[in-house]
Amino acid sequence: MKALPTGTVAKALSAQVPEPTSAPHAPAPSNAGVPEPTSTPRAPAPSHTGTLSLPEDASTHGHRIDALLAWSHRFDAVLITVALGWLVLAVWRFRKAKQAASDGGTRRSRAWVLGLALGAFVVVDGTLLLGSEGYLRDVLWNFSVPSEDPRTVRIEINAHQWSWEARYAGEDGRFNTSDDVVTWNDLRVPVGVPVWVQLVSTDVVHGFSLPHFRVKLDAIPGRVNQTWFQAAREGAWEAACYQHCGTSHYRMRGVLTAMSPESYATWLREAGKQSAQAWDAEDVAAHWGWEWKAP
Amino acid sequence: MNLFASDHKAVARRYLWGGLGFLLLGGLLALIIRWQWAYPGQPVPGLAWAMPESHGAMTPPAYTAVFTMHGLIMIFFAVTPLLFGALGHFVLPLSIGARGLAFPRLSVLGFWLYALGGALVLGSFAVRLGPASAGWTSYPPLSTSVFTPSLGQTLVTVAVLCAAASSFLYGLNFVVTVVRCRAPGMTWGRLTLTVWGLFFASVLNVLFVPVLAAATALLLMDRLLGTQFFIAGAAAVGGGGDPVVYQHLFWLFGHPEVYILILPAWGMVGDFVAFFSRKPAHGYRLTAGAMGVVTALSGLVYAHHLFTSGMSPVLGRTFMVLTLLISLPAEVMYLNWLMTLWRGSVRLTSPMLAALGTMVVFGLGGITGLSLGAVATDVPLHGTLWVVGHFHLTMGAASFLAVFAGLYFWFPKMFGRALHEGLAKAHVVSSAVLFLGVFGGQLAAGYAGQLRRLYDPYQYTYLKHLLPLNQWTSACAFLLGAAQVLFIVNLVWTLSRGRVVGANPWKVGTLEWTCTPSPPPAWNYDPVPVVLRGPHALSQPEVLERLGRDWMGQAESFPEESETEPGQAEGVGGMSTSGGAA
Ligand SMILES: [Cu+2]
């Protein structure tokens, strides 16, 4: 690649390494020095299944959304075939026809229009509505799953221009204590366990998304939003900001690593010990965590 | 040319030149975005003069300004002014048999507010730190002076207020004109579908543009006066600020705005498929009614833009149901268009090709929006290029093609000369096909997860493989830009030496074509016509038999019935079905 004209652009392009990038002002991740769990890849592999498909699904519930979307595509294909086929056929068949009908439809033909529209509406919109409602009831808005599961991992995420700061409660299970583990652009979760995220922003509106887990939630200053998901298998995937949040919005990238529950526990214990050693009670700004909000 | 002339046709011409100029600018900005996604960080050809220090390459701050200004310019300064300012101002009074708008001086004021806004937009490119860059939605706190301190952001915010004031004024003007200034005999059931579309959209302008104006004014106060309406945490110091309130206000306007941009297009499609199938519109009342239902629902669906904002489940479910509901009247209308083509005598003129192109892109755009209306399927697609492709097909491509359908149709009436049909057909067909390429490519990229507004999408490992797709999409976009040369050449050539046409080159019956020459005199009609029938009296057996042609003027009576009262004329056999002539 030829030399690029400006520092910004050059930096932008050279920053394509798939390691979690810390914001310039971010302190060194507190997990520094912790031995990497060997079983987990630290860099996400290009894990696409094809251009015309959704990102690979690495969650335990995302398949329900994907199936509903697949249904909606089948309906889309039928609707577009009928609409465009009809249009093309009409133009082809009645182009410059010698005679044109003189009426604006009959009672019967208008009833057909209403009936067809109603039929398509009931089938297509009905499927989407019921399918969506099922997912909302069972997963997206059903916080009884993470709140009732004793294994649930809770993470507080603080969005900044332009990085994701994540806080784990540590072994005592309470936030804002000395054994909290804080990471930058580096989320770690155990496989097969509900992960419950509460999300805030310190500056502008950001959008926290895990495309491979079908997770999307706004980070808005002044409120705590929450969502939950569950990783289906080990691996590393990207977290992305989906709300325009300023100049370096495109670099607001993190990596989520799904680990075996054992390596996750080891990592959290080791990182928590290091945090406790570095704990500075005077550093108020570092204690941005909050008391976990009930659903 | 008197720049303060209050004749609605003169105002329309001023909006036409302004709107086309901004369409060109907004289009060039779109091509820069497409360049950046195909060749990230490489110098944009021809842009070195504007950005010498990067040799014309996009930098992240420049890129945020480009996509922000593309959206703002297209919506507020190009497409709305072309649909309402140019076509609406010209057609609406003529079509209802009025001698002008209800408030001629208000329309002049509206135009100059638009022009002032346009000047501020252009000026913002010249100030230090460049124009607005917080996205066309201007979400706070990003759009406040703490995070976007540039003077350009302030200038553009004021420009949006100007455009909003202008939209409100012509909206009010159109509503009052349709209600009060119709010619004798021009009942509601005899209005063209174009007028119905413009009327409903004007009602939305009057109701919802003030919401945008209020939100923008409060935002401006947060920027300039130190208020904290939309600054979170303001509650902690005694205020009640909340950025989410802005999002609700913005989309309470923003979603009706989508229908403001498409309702006049729907109206034109409804008329043109009837005119050029030489047949009355199928289910005229159903179509007009469906547009009315969409209008009524349009203010009740907006919060689907906020499905991922953490809104309460009650709100989320309510807006999901209402959003899906709006597809029903749209389907009724679409099926009526198809039924109008059936058993007609289809003539593929340039306005007809543009109208059919509008149907194709709108159909695809509408269908791809269904999955965004349900919360679960919205989650993976929210904020991706799927959304971008969907709304560009509807309010971008469909509105664009409808603007050109209208322009090719009414140009002879506006200027007395017809645009070259061959060039016009080549323009609309190539544009429609390339629109499908561009926005189809965006739908595919969005489905694969590509997020909007990324300076360099390939920062993300999972998006790297989309580079070839994006390059292909960009190639379509560059060709689409090049295809517009067909229109520019046609326009310049026609204005100087185009074919001079008579009063009614398209052989249709609406008032502007049958009761006044091309172009019409200052007072439109002398005398004001007395309307006898609906707008689509085509292929009527009596007319074919007695006049030997397949069209009849809305105010025309059979030779031996010249003194017929309007009430009696409705009795003329077969006429009552021609566009709801009752
Ligand atoms: Cu962000």
Residue owning tokens 């159903």: B286
For B245, the 3-state DSSP assignment is helix
For B500-531, the pLDDT digits (tens) are 999 999 999 999 999 999 999 999 998 999 99
| Region B174-194 average pLDDT | 97
Q: How many percent of chain B have pLDDT more than 70?
A: 94
What is the complex's ipTM, to 2 decimals? Answer: 0.88
> What is the mean pLDDT of the segment spanning A112-139?
95
Task: Return the ∠ at Cα B474 (arms to B473 and B479), rounded to 5°.
Answer: 100
pLDDT band, residue B4 (cuts 50/70/90)? confident
CA–CA gap between residue B265 and residue B390 (Å, rounded) = 17
pLDDT reading at A27 higher than 80: no
CA distances from B336 to A25, A96, B536 (A): 60, 20, 14
Query: pLDDT digits over B384-394, tens only?
Result: 999 999 999 99
Which pLDDT score, from 0 to 100, does residue A34 have? 42
Residue B194 near residue B229 (C-beta atoms within 8 A): no
A–B CB contacts, 8 A cutoff, strictly below: 339
Query: B371 vs A240: CB contact, 8 Å cut-off?
Result: no
- Cα atoms found within 13 Å of the Cα of residue A261, Cβ hemisphere only: 9
Q: Judge whether residue B234 has pLDDT over 80.
A: no
- Per DSSP, what are the bridge partners of residue A227? A197
Has residue A43 got a pLDDT over 60?
A: no
Give the length of chain A.
Answer: 295
Residues of B448-467 as b/e, b for ≥16 C-beta within 10 angstroms? Answer: bbbbbbbbbbbbbbbbebbe
3-state secondary structure of A22: coil
Structure tokens at B44: 């944009």
* Cβ–Cβ < 8 Å for B156, B474: no
CB count within 10 Å of CB B407 equals 23
Residue A280 pLDDT:
85
Task: Give residue B129's pLDDT.
Answer: 87
Ligand 1 centroid from CA A248, angstroms: 8
Q: Quick check: A41 and A220 in contact, CB under 8 A? A: no
Yes or no, beta carbons of A55 and B448 under 8 Å apart: yes
Which tokens is B504 given? 């009614």
User: Helix (H, G, I), strand (E, B), or coil: what is residue B452?
Assistant: coil
* Residue B93 pLDDT: 97
pLDDT, tens digit (0-9, with 9 covering 90-100), for A71-81: 999 999 999 99
Å from CA of A198 to ligand 1 middle? 16
Q: How do residues B258-267 score in pLDDT, each as one tens digit?
A: 999 999 999 9
pLDDT in tens, A131-143: 999 999 999 999 9
Separation between Cα atoms, residue A145 and residue B387, nearest integer Å: 31
Nearest CA-CA distance, residue A130 and chain B, Å: 9
Q: What is the mean pLDDT of residues B82-103?
A: 96
What average pLDDT does the segment A273-278 reach? Answer: 88
Q: Which of B57, B308, B373 sits opposite A216 (nearest CB)?
A: B308
Residues comprising chain B, all counted:
582
Position A5 pLDDT exceeds 50: no
Is B582 in the A-facing interface, judged by CB distances under 8 Å?
no
Average pLDDT over residues B4-31: 95
- pLDDT tens profile B304-329: 999 999 888 999 999 999 999 999 99
| Helices B421-447 + B399-415 axis angle, to 10 | 160
In whole angstroms, what is the distance from residue B303 CA to residue B315 CA?
A: 8
> What is the least distance, in Å, from the CA of B326 to any CA of chain A?
10
pLDDT digits (tens, 9 = 90+) for A172-181: 889 988 889 9
B255 near A CB under 8 A: no
Chain A residue numbers with beta carbons less than 8 Å from the beta carbon of B574 are 102-103
Contacts of residue B148, defined as CB under 8 A and 6 or more positions apart, other chains included, come to A246, B132, B133, B134, B142
Asked if the peptide bond before residue B141 counts as cis, ω within 30 degrees of 0, the response is yes
Cα atoms found within 13 Å of the Cα of residue B578, Cβ hemisphere only: 33
What pLDDT score does B138 carry? 92
Q: Which of B153, B76, B146, B151 is nearest to B117 (CA)?
A: B76
Say how far apart CA B518 and CA B411 lie, in whole Å.
Answer: 9
Nearest CA in chain A to B278: A100
| Predicted confidence (pLDDT) at residue B349 exceeds the cutoff of 90 | yes
A-chain CB neighbours of B64 within 8 Å are 244, 246-247, 249
Pairing of strands A153-160, A163-168: antiparallel
**SS3 for B470?**
helix
Q: To which H or E segment does residue B499 belong?
A: strand B499-500
Task: Give exposure, B52-82, as e/b (b: 16+ Cβ within 10 Å).
Answer: eebebbbbbbbbbbbbbbbbbbbbbbbbbbb
- Those residues with Cβ within 8 angstroms of residue A64's Cβ, 6 or more apart along the chain or in another chain: A131, A134, A135, A138, A139, B376
**A116 to chain B: which residues are within 8 Å by CB?**
331, 335
Residue A31 pLDDT > 60: no
Instruction: Give me the pLDDT at residue A284, please.
Output: 82
Q: What is the pLDDT of residues A213-222, one digit of tens each?
A: 999 999 999 8
* B580 contacts A91? CB cut-off 8 A: no
CB atoms closer than 10 angstroms to residue B179: 11
Give residue for tokens 């937009």.
B121
Q: How far apart are CA A23 and CA A25, in angstroms?
A: 6
Residue B36 and residue B43: Cα distance in Å, rounded?
Answer: 9
| Residue that the structure tokens 């409808």 belong to | B402
Q: Is the preceding peptide bond at B527 cis, omega within 30 degrees of 0? A: yes
